[in-house]
């Protein structure tokens, strides 16, 4: 855990240092364009002064400004015991130390955000729409993600970066305007040609630097979101919770664009202004939701840093690392837990109905394949391809088949024509399983079925069943 923060801090410093150098460099350049070589130092100082003013303004307001503008109201435990308890649980799991202040926003649009530059001053806000829609596991995932932002010092980092970018944009703007309106003072004829070059560089810088800084800022924001997702998976030990919560949230955000505040957008769990996007542009604060969900679901039965990194590489195909070196070196794979039991008649009734329809499908010779994401894929009996994709998460599954015994090089194999050797099928667990015989007929094995071999009803071939 501390490795992750350490990596973060190191990357933050690098980035801030780079942007700071860019800021000072631009200041110096603009100063030079104005007043020759003497202006460089003055320009740099002016840039830093601007940054300082912006920084003071940004930090003076504190978290209260953000929360008030979102119309968040702080709650006590009695107002929403479940939310309070979940936040406490995640505080313990993350090792945050101090319980963050908890706020509810009365809004049907499901969303959540966290603020607080220091872990002691953390605040978590959740909309009432979110509370209504998510079950306990999903709520845990969302809260874990938000607390991860606080713990990884993301808010502090993004504030600093935002102020940097703001300063760069501002001085570039000021410079361009002054060039436009006044031509600027040129001090004497000191180095006419050199001055022109400086002017060209300054103009180029004024146009490109803001764009470049913003791209950098948004790229950082997206990276931080992945890290927060990885942290949430690790705290809850249940990536599927966050994955299904993200799905639920992103499916609901279409209508409320007007209500979302632009300045707050990066801090929400999903940027409400960009929710419907299918690809993350250069200027998106969050990665595409589908991608985040796919990575979380590709983690297999695991929940650790290395598992997230592996899933990230697999889903995005990106060669560069998502999490820091120290983080990845700090531990090996960590296994996930099972879903927590759902208390409620509705879920039980649904589960029972599913069992009944599954049974009916099996009788109708459908082949059922269980996917890790929870979906049971029902393959019709006349399906003749070798593999099938899960409609929910996209994983590919091979259609289970009974295998030939690997003794094809028996001397009299050729004489027997189409082989009558017994087939073998290895069970993968103790529950219901279906597989195909070589003739194409679907065989069903029930949990209670403990016989060593069965006979295919169609081709009368013997199939041996081996244990899991």
Q: Alpha-carbon distance 238 to 294, whole Å? A: 14
2 is a site residue for other proteins (CB under 8 A): yes
Q: Which residues are catalytic?
A: 146
| β-strand pairing of 376-379 with 433-436 | unpaired
Measured between alpha carbons, how far is 460 from 403 in angstroms, rounded to an integer? 15
Q: Which of residues 303-332 bind other proteins (CB under 8 A)?
A: 330-331
Of the pair 208, 350, the CB lying nearest other proteins is at 350
Residue 85 interacts with other proteins (CB under 8 A): yes or no = yes
State which residue, 171 or 228, has the beta carbon closest to other proteins. 228
Q: Is 332 in a helix, a strand, or coil?
A: coil
Asked if residues 125 and 70 have their Cβ atoms less than 8 Å apart, the reply is yes
343 counts as binding other proteins under rule CB under 8 A? yes
Say which DSSP state 317 is in: -
460-463: which pairs have CB atoms within 8 A and are 24 or more residues apart?
Answer: 461/420, 461/422, 461/423, 461/437, 462/422, 462/423, 463/402, 463/422, 463/423, 463/424, 463/425, 463/437
| 338 CB neighbour count, 10 Å cutoff | 9
User: In this chain, which of 73, 82, 118, 457 binds other proteins, going by CB under 8 A?
Assistant: 82
User: Least separation, in Å, of the C-beta of 341 and other proteins?
Assistant: 5
- Please state the closest distance from residue 351 (CB atom) to other proteins, in A: 11
* Residue 95 lies near other proteins (rule: CB under 8 A): yes
Q: How far is the CB of 295 from other proteins (least distance, A)?
A: 22
Closest approach, Cβ 440 to other proteins, in A, equals: 41
Q: Which is nearer to other proteins, 182 or 341 (CB)?
A: 341
Question: Is residue 106 at the binding interface for other proteins, with CB under 8 A as the rule?
Answer: no
Selected range binding other proteins among 79-87, 170-178, 418-426, 434-442, rule: CB under 8 A: 79-87
Other beta carbons within 10 Å of 12: 20
Give whichever of 85 and 214 is closer to other proteins, judged by the CB atom. 85
94 binds other proteins (CB under 8 A): yes
Dist CA 147 CA 87 (whole Å): 8
Distance CA 357, CA 363 (A): 10
237 binds other proteins, rule: CB under 8 A: yes
Q: Which of residues 163-202 bind other proteins (CB under 8 A)?
A: none
Q: Is 391 in the site for other proteins (CB under 8 A)?
A: no
Within 13 Å and on the Cβ side, how many CA atoms surround 20?
12
Q: Tokens representing 290? A: 């589908």
**Residue 25: HSE in the Cβ half-sphere, 13 Å Cα cutoff:** 12
Q: Per CB under 8 A, does 417 bind other proteins?
A: no
Closest separation in Å from C-beta 96 to other proteins: 10
Q: Does residue number 132 form part of the binding site for other proteins (CB under 8 A)? A: no
Euclidean distance between CA atoms 37 and 395, whole angstroms: 62
**92 interacts with other proteins by CB under 8 A:** yes
Q: How far is the CB of 95 from other proteins (least distance, A)?
A: 5
List interacting residues with other proteins (CB under 8 A): 1-3, 81-82, 85-86, 88-90, 92-95, 235, 237, 330-331, 340-341, 343-345, 348
């Amino acid at each position: 855990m501390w490795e992750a923060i350490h990596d973060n801090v190191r990357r933050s410093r690098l980035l801030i240092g780079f942007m700071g150098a860019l800021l000072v460099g631009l200041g110096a350049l603009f100063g030079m364009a104005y007043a020759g070589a003497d202006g460089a130092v003055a320009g740099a100082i002016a840039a830093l002064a601007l940054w300082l003013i912006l920084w003071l303004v940004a930090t003076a307001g504190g978290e209260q400004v953000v929360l008030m503008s979102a119309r968040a109201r702080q709650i006590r435990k009695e107002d929403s015991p479940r939310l309070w308890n979940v936040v406490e649980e995640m505080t313990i799991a993350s090792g945050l130390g101090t319980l963050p202040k908890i706020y509810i926003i009365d809004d049907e649009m499901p969303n959540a955000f966290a603020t607080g530059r220091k872990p002691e001053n953390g605040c978590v806000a959740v909309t009432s729409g979110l509370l209504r829609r998510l079950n306990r596991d999903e709520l845990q995932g969302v809260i874990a993600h938000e607390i991860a932002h606080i713990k990884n010092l993301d808010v502090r980092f993004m504030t600093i970066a935002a102020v940097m970018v703001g300063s760069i944009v501002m001085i570039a703007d000021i410079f361009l305007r002054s060039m436009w309106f006044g031509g600027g003072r040129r001090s004497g004829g000191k180095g006419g040609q050199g001055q022109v070059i400086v002017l060209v560089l300054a103009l180029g810088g004024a146009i490109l630097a803001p764009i470049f800084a913003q791209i950098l800022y948004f790229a950082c924001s997206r990276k931080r979101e992945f890290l927060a997702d990885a942290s949430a998976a690790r705290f809850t030990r249940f990536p599927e919770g966050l994955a299904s919560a993200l799905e639920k949230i992103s499916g609901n955000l279409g209508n409320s664009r007007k209500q979302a505040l632009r300045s707050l957008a990066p801090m929400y769990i999903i940027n409400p202004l960009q929710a419907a996007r299918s690809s993350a542009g250069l200027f998106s604060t969050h990665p595409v939701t589908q991608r985040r969900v796919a990575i979380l679901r590709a983690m297999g039965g695991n929940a650790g840093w290395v598992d997230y990194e592996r899933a990230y590489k697999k889903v995005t195909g990106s060669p560069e690392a998502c999490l820091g070196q120290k983080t990845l070196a700090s531990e090996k794979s960590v296994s996930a837990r099972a879903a927590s039991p759902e208390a409620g008649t509705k879920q039980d009734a649904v589960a029972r109905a599913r069992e009944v329809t599954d049974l009916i499908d099996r009788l109708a010779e459908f082949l059922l394949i269980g996917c890790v994401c929870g979906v049971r894929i029902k393959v019709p009996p006349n399906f003749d391809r070798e593999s099938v994709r899960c409609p929910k998460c996209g994983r590919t599954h091979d259609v289970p088949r009974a295998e030939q015994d690997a003794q094809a090089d028996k001397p009299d194999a050729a004489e027997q024509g189409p082989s009558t050797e017994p087939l073998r099928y290895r069970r993968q667990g103790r529950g219901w399983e279906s597989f195909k015989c070589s003739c194409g007929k679907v065989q069903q094995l029930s949990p209670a079925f403990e016989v060593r071999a069965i006979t295919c009803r169609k081709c009368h071939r013997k199939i041996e069943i081996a244990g899991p």
